[in-house]
Copies of this chain bind each other. A is one copy, B any other.
Amino acid sequence: MAKEKKLVEAITSMEEDFAQWYTDVVKKAELIDYSSVKGCMIIKPAGYAIWENIQKELDQRFKETGVENVYMPMFIPESLLQKEKDHVEGFAPEVAWVTHGGLSELQERLCVRPTSETLFCDFYKDLIQSYRDLPKLYNQWCSVVRWEKETRPFLRSREFLWQEGHTAHATAEEAEERTIQMLNLYADFCEEVLAMPVIRGQKTEKEKFAGAMATYTIEALMHDGKALQSGTSHNFGDGFAKAFGIQFTDKDNRLKYVYQTSWGMTTRLIGAIIMVHGDDSGLVLPPRIAPVQAMVIPIMQHKEGVLEKAKEICSSLSKVCRVRLDDSDKSPGWKFAEQEMRGIPIRIEVGPKDLENNRCVLVRRDTRQKLEVSLDDAAEEVTRLLEQIQKDMFERAKAHRDAHIWDAHDYEELKEIAGSKPGFIRGMWCGSQDCEDRIKEDLAVTSRCIPFHDKETISDVCVCCGKPAAKLIYWGKAY
């Protein structure tokens, strides 16, 4: 039983060491394994199934807005990467370079894509000729490589999976609209499907994407009070179009540059799910993203009729949710612990006594609350309970997030909060990068975003320099 033992062994508690707790959960919930390539992870079935659900949900939402999927090469010639100045400066230090193909040295180095703006631009340059060819709304699902020095599973790895959308438009207004539309799509997805509240806002000049005119972001708060940038959407204006020469003949017969956007979400979201919802027993999955939503566990399964009834329940529930039966020869206790570690939203217990009374017991993973229900109502109750859990998990995450937003009115207060209170800090900003740099260097907090919806003015002056300030910023320590 060595294999089972590993699973239900106590993991490090969150309070004691959050980073170690996280590592324990990703390993013991069997989401990933380390590989022989430093900084690259193996995504195991339990982890990949979550990614498949994320893909299915996002892809459908993309397609509803007219987006089409394509696939671009994974290599970028060095000369192509260098075409947009800010972009190459941002990415060149962290790309992997292919120098040899087979036994010969390449004439030109190729980098493994860290992101594909340059490839899409090179493609669009020939594809787009007329206003009739616009807009182009393309997306791809692929892996990308960034040669990071410090890595952590899902949060920062040298290779990760993502989607990257790249659009081209006839007008600046349309590009801006699409940038915001995709950010809102991301935010709704996080809140509705991952039960994860996010703050929508704009990145400062310092924090925006290399080559972008504006970067919009959604920022989520993890259980330890650190922020996680969970999705970004960039408006490039006509910067890339000018660097790559992407022009079209408009209705007025004049040659114009296109306006572009890009937007992406990654396997990092799995890290977010872990850190927003997990507890000291392991993973807690929101029902809408859980690969298995309910696990039927027979009690005293050797007793006559128990296993048959468990199978029957499983089969009838399969019409309303993703349900599995654990009929292995492990003890119920082991099975409970395993199922908790893996974050399965509902456990369904059925034993000899339940048979007699035509009932079963539903146990919520998130609250551990038990509910006896008649077998006749089981399908209905499980459906209702999954919705309830989804809703409660969002409300709980939101309450936790809201309880960890602090206001700082001056530098002393900012310093005190940054040093003692985990969470987001709201503080006014004058707009100068000097203040942003000083706060980052001295207090190790960074500007997360200028929020869209939070327009409160908590003071008239910059939290750093005391000069007049009109912008509210969410500051925080971040992953």
Residues of chain A touching chain B, judged by Cβ–Cβ distance below 8 Å, are 2-3, 33, 35-37, 40-45, 48-49, 51-52, 68-77, 80, 93-103, 110, 112, 119, 122-123, 126-127, 129-130, 132-133, 138, 142-143, 145, 147, 158-159, 161
Q: Let me know if B96 and A69 touch, CB within 8 A.
A: no
Minimum C-beta distance from A204 to chain B (A): 25
Bound Cα distance A108, B122 (Å): 32
Bound Cα distance A2, B147 (Å): 44
Of A70, A80, A132, most B-chain CB atoms within 10 Å: A70
Integer count of this chain's copies in the complex: 2
Q: Let me know if A127 and B33 touch, CB within 8 A.
A: yes
Q: Let me know if A35 and B123 touch, CB within 8 A.
A: yes
Q: Let me know if A70 and B98 touch, CB within 8 A.
A: no
Minimum C-beta distance from A45 to chain B (A): 4
Bound Cα distance A444, B94 (Å): 47
Select which of B100, B133, B158 is within 8 A of A97 by beta carbon: B100
Bound Cα distance A158, B101 (Å): 10
The 18 listed contacts between A and B (C-beta, < 8 Å) are A2-B129, A3-B129, A33-B127, A36-B122, A37-B75, A37-B76, A42-B72, A42-B123, A43-B70, A44-B70, A71-B143, A71-B161, A74-B159, A75-B96, A97-B98, A99-B99, A102-B147, A112-B112
Q: Let me know if B122 and A73 touch, CB within 8 A.
A: no
Q: Let me know if B75 and A133 touch, CB within 8 A.
A: no
Bound Cα distance A233, B133 (Å): 43
Minimum C-beta distance from A7 to chain B (A): 13
Minimum C-beta distance from A77 to chain B (A): 6
Q: Closest chain B residue to A161 by CB distance?
A: B71
Q: Closest chain B residue to A68 by CB distance?
A: B45
Q: Let me know if A69 and B52 touch, CB within 8 A.
A: yes
19 extra interchain contacts, Cβ-Cβ under 8 A, other than A3-B133, A48-B71? A2-B129, A2-B130, A33-B123, A35-B122, A36-B77, A36-B119, A36-B122, A37-B77, A43-B71, A45-B68, A48-B70, A52-B69, A74-B112, A74-B143, A74-B159, A75-B159, A96-B110, A97-B98, A97-B99
